[in-house]
Structure 1
Amino acid sequence: MADLAVTEDLFFTRAGLDKDGALRSLTSALEGMDDGELYLEYRQSEAVSLDDGKIRSATFDTAQGFGLRAVAGETAGYAHASTLDNASIERAAETVKAVRGGHSGTLAAGPVGTNQALYTDLNPIAPVPFETKVKLLSEIDAYARSRDPRVKQVMASVVGSWQAVHILRPDGAAADIRPLVRLNVTVMVEHGGRLETGTHGLGGRTGFDMILDEATWKAATDEALRQALVNLDSIDAPAGEMPVVLGPGWPGVLLHEAIGHGLEGDFNRKKTSAFSDLLGKRVAAPGVTVVDDGTLPDRRGSLTIDDEGTPTSRTVLIEDGILTGYLFDRMNARLMGMKPTGNGRRQSYAHKPIPRMTNTFMLGGKDDPKDILGSVKKGLYAVNFGGGQVDIVSGKFVFSCTEAYLIEDGRITAPVKGATLIGNGPDVLTRVSMIGNDMALDPGIGTCGKDGQGVACGVGQPTLKVDLLTVGGTSV
């Protein structure tokens, strides 16, 4: 693999690590253990942001380090450091041995390698001068203000990173080189003393070319402005139980939070998920199929390999309403007698891997979105979401809508503000009665939080009709 040659040079030649010495320390640490690895990481990241016509912040950061993990049964010892030298690795190895105690295991075989390449290995930061990024943000600001005299403030940012990882085991090694870029635009408008905002972003595992394309950044700016202007005309949201139609694409974040986390292996091994012990049983309406797919080229949530070295995969979680799988890292898969799915992820070398989603979405159905909306006498059409809260054990969730509309007699009418969706993830899936033929993925903006770790992810879904859902609003 080309990536392996690059990371071998990066860590064992330029950083000066003695590979044989690191391998000896690792082998000693994993004696009598069930699993473990040495995770080496190097990362460059850059962020530039504009606010009200001025560059407000510009950062460039380089970080490197290692994490050494030893797994004995259900216990994991983890030690990490930002210094890449053999003495530090040797000290880490002595530390993680403490979890062995009286445990005597056989080290599990390492992941089977892959030759797939889902994205470029080129560093997106270096080829594009800093001045070009500043110029882009200034052009976004000027363009947004030229579009409508009601624009009062523009905030925009570009972010890029380049991460190289090398995963060393006594029986072999794996490597991955991961680019990531993102553009975000927020527009604030004012009319009659009322202020409203709209936000849009995009990104992926590519170079900055996708963001620098004039048609692309103008479309992102137009979308942020459109949302802000829609919100200027919004009225108070209704409250109560009613049919809710969810739009395609980013509204899949509700699926990610309310259902996806409950399908991660650690929660199900510990039986703390609302989906525990339900494999093979109906958990959703017929026609509902949910997958997690880390193999989509250039997508924000995709990975060639996960952070344990396992190639990512397309995992069907729910098929035609039946629960068919969970998402696994190596430890939880071993303890549950299952196969790893390539979902062992970590924020950085300072964090141990845990089961996490990649790109999680519901497949499209056969219904025309116009027919879905036309079937609703009185309800809510939710197009964009902000923050939310989910209880994994019960499945209960609360999500705030940043763009939503009334549906009256099958037609989209007034935009509303202050709408929240309140429900139970597993229960909502059983109330899906129509599934659109317009499945879409989000534009590449997702970041998932779990156990204090944040990782890039993707979501998606088609237009969906939920027959009954509680809407929290500001009017009756």
Structure 2
Amino acid sequence: MTDAPFRPFDTQLDEGAALTILRAATAGADDGELFLERRRSEALVLDDGRVKTASYDASEGFGLRAVRGEVAGYAHTTTISETALKRAAETARLAVGDGGGTLADAPKGTNARLYTDADPMADATFAVKIDLLREIDAFTRALDPRIIQVSATISASYQEVEILRPEGLRLSDIRPMARINISVIVEQNGRRESGGMGGGGRHGLAPLMQPAHWQAVAREALRIALVNLEAVPAPAGTMDVVLGPGWPGILLHEAIGHGLEGDFNRKQTSAFAGLLGQRIAAPGVTVLDDGTLPDRRGSISVDDEGTPSARNVLIDDGILVGYMQDRQNARLMGVAPTGNGRRESFAHIPMPRMTNTYMMGGNDDPAGILASLKDGIYAVGFGGGQVDITNGKFVFSCTEAYRVQNGNIGAPVKGATLIGDGATALKHIRATGNDMALDPGIGNCGKAGQWVPVGVGQPTLLIGGLTVGGSAA
């Protein structure tokens, strides 16, 4: 990953000069790096039979960071030149002051390649992509006469990263991303409902453009819309809830995952702070954050500080065994970084972030789990949610859910929300299915104004005593 000459994005920035400036900026610092990025992306949207959006964006720049203790100086610019680098170094240097720190050991680097370095946007011409969107529109509309609107999106991006560290280590990564989404609106007897499905990952557009893929996506979007068309008002009250496999892991991501990020725990603002080695979940619950899964949306060969991505166990059989760490928080907590230092772009400072966060499967039969549910909700799709990191309290809206009574799946319900807190929910997991699945590649995570792609996953779960907010008492 470091064999190519240091000529970031065809600029005239010389590696020797850049290294000299970086070393001056980080003299007496604990850590620091020069992060260079070039990103290109496109999005094509066909909505209601018309091309609504056809966008192409390109950006490049660098960010220079110097870290001392809990303070970080950061400067960034879209101009990649020696002059700009010197000005950035002067700004970042302000955080170091008179220095006195000892530069932290460099990451080891890696030659692992978790995804292709081919540009997904080059898999098809603009005209071919537009023709595909029209084909998707026609195919989807023909599936059911109740469909009144179809929206289809093809998007792709290509990110090139170079990281230069003060000791001379240089790392690079090329990160592709591709995605296709389809949503529909159906109408029956004056009632309208919607459904959507999509996915992708760190690979080319070509596999997503195959009819076998996008036709299945279209059928699933329609299925969800038709389910919602028959939905009745959701009940309200405290009841047991079964979560389906895959995408419902977004609840795990938000309600638990953020609380296991290193910065919140170092600052003692997480509900899980100070609990390492203690039981925080029911026996059998094992949760991982794994950025090494090939081609997955949340995977990264190296993080945005140069640390190789890793398979990190966070909860082992119910016991809290680790947090997700970037370099700064790991150093301040006296532990090793875990490859979770991520940033949205060169204009953002890195922080501990999730990659692919999921719960391992258990031994229970999913059908048996549902059969054991006497009176509750079976939730298989989720939309937006809100979480308070300090206490883990969450509120999530269900996009597809069903009433279950005496083990029988009944009518779909509309307007259901799940309310609880992560720490309690973990301990109230009563059954863990043997059907662990990852999401289809649709996750984005926001933190402190930064967005990064992520993955989630889980098996079928039975959680006791969640509060269900609905529209019927």
**By the TM > 0.5 criterion, same fold?**
yes
Who is 2:382 aligned against? 385
Who is 1:146 aligned against? 142
Q: CA deviation at 1:9?
A: 4.2
Who is 2:6 aligned against? 8
In the alignment of these two chains, the number of paired residues is: 472
Who is 2:181 aligned against? 184
User: Are the equivalent residues in 2 in contact too, given 1:185–1:199 (CA < 8 A)?
Assistant: yes
Q: CA deviation at 1:127?
A: 3.3
Q: CA deviation at 1:103?
A: 3.7
Residue deviations 1:209-258 (CA, integer Å, cap 9, x gap): 12111100000010000000000000000000001000000000000000
Q: Equivalences for 1:253-332 in 2 at 5 Å?
A: 253-332=250-329
Q: CA deviation at 1:184?
A: 1.0
User: How far apart, in 1, do the equivalents of 2:299 and 2:143 lie?
Assistant: 35
User: How far apart, in 1, do the equivalents of 2:59 and 2:4 lie?
Assistant: 17
Who is 1:372 aligned against? 369
User: Are the equivalent residues in 1 in contact too, given 2:27–2:99 (CA < 8 A)?
Assistant: no
User: How far apart, in 2, do the equivalents of 1:223 and 1:387 lie?
Assistant: 20
Who is 1:166 aligned against? 162
Q: Equivalences for 1:89-128 in 2 at 5 Å?
A: 89-128=85-124
Who is 2:247 aligned against? 250
- Aligned-residue CA RMSD (Å): 0.9
Who is 1:35 aligned against? 31
Q: CA deviation at 1:388?
A: 0.3
User: Are the equivalent residues in 1 in contact too, given 2:297–2:453 (CA < 8 A)?
Assistant: yes
Partner of 2:122: helix, strand, or coil?
coil
The structure 1 residue matched to 2:445, chosen from 444, 448, 453, is: 448
Partner of 1:147: helix, strand, or coil?
coil
With structure 2 as the length reference, what TM-score do the two structures score? 0.99
Q: CA deviation at 1:94?
A: 0.6
The structure 2 residue matched to 1:348, chosen from 345, 348, 369, is: 345
The structure 1 residue matched to 2:63, chosen from 54, 61, 67, is: 67
Q: Equivalences for 1:325-474 in 2 at 5 Å?
A: 325-474=322-471
User: How far apart, in 2, do the equivalents of 1:59 and 1:413 lie?
Assistant: 44
Residue deviations 1:368-395 (CA, integer Å, cap 9, x gap): 1110000011100000000000000010
Counterpart code for 1:245? V
User: How far apart, in 1, do the equivalents of 2:3 and 2:127 lie?
Assistant: 32
Residue deviations 1:310-340 (CA, integer Å, cap 9, x gap): 0000000001000000000000000000000
Q: CA deviation at 1:5?
A: 3.9
Q: CA deviation at 1:10?
A: 4.1
Counterpart code for 2:41? S
User: Are the equivalent residues in 2 in contact too, given 1:176–1:304 (CA < 8 A)?
Assistant: yes
Change (3 A) 1:127 1:370: closer
Residue deviations 1:392-429 (CA, integer Å, cap 9, x gap): 00100000000000001101110000000000001000
Who is 2:215 aligned against? 218
User: Are the equivalent residues in 1 in contact too, given 2:7–2:13 (CA < 8 A)?
Assistant: no
Residue deviations 1:64-108 (CA, integer Å, cap 9, x gap): 000000001100000000111110010000111111224410111
With structure 1 as the length reference, what TM-score do the two structures score? 0.98
Residue deviations 1:265-314 (CA, integer Å, cap 9, x gap): 00000000000000000000000000000000000000000000000000
- Greater displacement, 401-410 / 125-134: 125-134
Counterpart code for 1:392? I
User: How far apart, in 1, do the equivalents of 2:231 and 2:210 lie?
Assistant: 32
Residue deviations 1:147-182 (CA, integer Å, cap 9, x gap): 000000001111100001000012211110000011
Who is 2:78 aligned against? 82
Counterpart code for 1:207? G
The runs of 5 or more residues in structure 2 that have no matched partner are none
User: Are the equivalent residues in 2 in contact too, given 1:7–1:165 (CA < 8 A)?
Assistant: no
Counterpart code for 1:36? G
Counterpart code for 2:276? L
Residue deviations 1:345-370 (CA, integer Å, cap 9, x gap): 00000000000000000000001111
Change (3 A) 1:438 1:48: same
User: How far apart, in 2, do the equivalents of 1:203 and 1:165 lie?
Assistant: 21
Q: CA deviation at 1:135?
A: 1.2
User: How far apart, in 1, do the equivalents of 2:170 and 2:161 lie?
Assistant: 11
Q: Segments of 4+ in structure 1 off by > 6 A?
A: none
Counterpart code for 1:254? L
Who is 2:14 aligned against? 18
Partner of 2:128: helix, strand, or coil?
helix
The runs of 5 or more residues in structure 1 that have no matched partner are none
User: Are the equivalent residues in 2 in contact too, given 1:7–1:175 (CA < 8 A)?
Assistant: no
